[in-house]
């Protein structure tokens, strides 16, 4: 590993990246998807919620005060919502990876922490939420 690449397995939050990159958080992105292993999940769909934490060097944007020099979180949120609402898949792991890929498509994002919530997962018990958090980085 190079010094500029955070180790996503080092901790729940890429601690090494905190020294190198700033953190941009976007939480509670709501989307309606048709993902799941059961036919009724594919047919009826259900809500999903996405939380993002992105490693971004914001110094250029701070100096220029220009949106072109940073991650446009409005546009990113739209792309993330579209990714969740896209083609149905079986697993939340696949959806979370799809979202991470969208985030890392912007070269200014060094790493992404994606939490995908499936609050209405078909579980035969009382529960609050099912959430998967993945960490992905460049390289």
How far apart (Å, rounded) are the C-alpha atoms in residues 37 and 33? 13
Residues in the chain, how many?
139
Please indicate whether residue 81 is annotated as part of the active site: no
* Element at 55 (helix H, strand E): strand 46-56
Of 81, 117, 118, 136, which one is the catalytic site residue? Answer: 118
CA pseudo-torsion sign 83, 54, 52, 29: negative
Contacts of 123-128 with CB under 8 Å at 24 or more apart are none
| Of 110, 103, 116, the residue nearest 51 (C-alpha) | 116
Cα three-residue angle 133-128-84, rounded to 5 degrees: 45
Catalogue the active-site residues. Answer: 118
């Amino acid at each position: 590993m190079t010094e500029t690449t955070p180790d996503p397995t080092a901790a729940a939050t890429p601690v090494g990246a905190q020294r190198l990159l700033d953190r941009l958080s976007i939480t509670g992105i709501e989307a309606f998807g048709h993902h799941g292993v059961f036919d009724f999940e594919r047919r009826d769909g259900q809500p999903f919620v996405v939380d993002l934490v992105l490693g971004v060097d914001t110094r250029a944007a701070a100096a220029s005060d220009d949106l072109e020099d940073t991650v446009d979180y409005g546009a990113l949120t739209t792309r993330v919502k579209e990714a969740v609402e896209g083609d149905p898949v079986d697993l939340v792991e696949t959806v979370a990876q799809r979202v991470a890929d969208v985030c890392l498509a912007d070269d200014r994002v060094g790493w992404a922490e994606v939490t995908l919530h499936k609050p209405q997962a078909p579980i035969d018990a009382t529960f609050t939420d099912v959430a998967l958090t993945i960490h992905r980085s460049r390289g």
